[in-house]
Amino acid sequence: MPSGADDEKTATLTPLRRHRQGCEVADGGAVATEESVMWFVTVTVSGPPADTDSVRSSLERLSAERPFVVSARYSADRAEVRYWDESDEVEVAVSQALRMWRDHALTARLPRWRVVGVEVVDRETARLRWDKAGEPQVFVLGEIRRMDSCD
């Protein structure tokens, strides 16, 4: 798993979407802008069991359609998609995460599952976790693999 300076490749993947707060004119005509933050997002979905080959194919289509996917894990009744997002506020990243599966359901032919979990952490927190043992690791960017319980 990337850690420290080595995760720069991961962090520079095209995020789900860029959202920058507009410039505002402050008193005296000065222009103020806010820097965007990179958020590491994990969306977990679940639903009725489906053929695992079909689930994998759907996740591959999602990854091809939106190259923001860092990794995905799946089983017959659950999937976890991890990606980077860039926005000014965590609320924007959370809102986008809650819509991600539904927004791509038709085009990627995703299973009719619902979001059962969302986690959004900043880049520093993600790095700290990668240094800890026991966290799900990404060995290859864009990897799609079965969850351990399915092996």
Residues 38-72: tens digit of each pLDDT: 999 999 999 999 999 999 999 999 999 887 889 99
Residue that wins the pLDDT comparison between 2 and 59: 59
Residue 151 has pLDDT above 60, yes or no: no
User: According to the model, what pLDDT value does residue 146 have?
Assistant: 94
Q: Given pLDDT bands bounded at 50, 70 and 90, which one contains residue 115?
A: very high
Q: For 12-43, how does the pLDDT look when each residue is reduced to its tens digit (9 = 90+)?
A: 344 444 444 443 434 444 433 457 889 999 99
Tell me what the mean pLDDT of segment 120-138 comes to: 78
SS3 per residue for the chain: CCCHHHHHHHHCCCCCCEECCCCEECHHHCEECCCCEEEEEEEEEECCCCCHHHHHHHHHHHHHHCCCEEEEEECCCEEEEEEEEEECCHHHHHHHHHHHHHHHCCCCCCCCCEEEEEEEEEHHHHHHHHCCCCCCCCCCCCEEEECHHHC
